[in-house]
Amino acid sequence: RILERDFTIACGPGERSAVEAAADYLNEQLKQVQAQSKVIGVEHTVVLAALNMAHELLAAQAAPSNDISDSVRDRIREMRHSIAEFSSS
């Protein structure tokens, strides 16, 4: 259900839970826009929610991944330790 309306969506095998999760996320975003805005039409609500979601996606893509940064930092630390051990022997 999205904005109290039922939709039938075709999806591949094993994709149902992902599609349902996406629909739930979209519905939550739409409800947030409705709650934050004065009375606006559905079309306006959908556009604002889509803009918010696009902004979140672009921000996530632009941000460095903490997992990668942490693993790179750990690897550099290990290499420095190895170099220090090698230099002292």
- Percent of the chain predicted with pLDDT > 70: 88
Alpha-carbon distance values, 54 to 49, 51, 61, 77, 78 (Å): 9, 5, 11, 36, 38
Bigger pLDDT: 50 vs 73: 50
- Residue 63 has what pLDDT? 77
pLDDT tens for each residue of 55-68: 998 888 887 766 66
> And the tokens for 7?
């939709």
Mean pLDDT of 37-63: 88
- Residue 60 has what pLDDT? 82
- Residue 37 has what pLDDT? 86
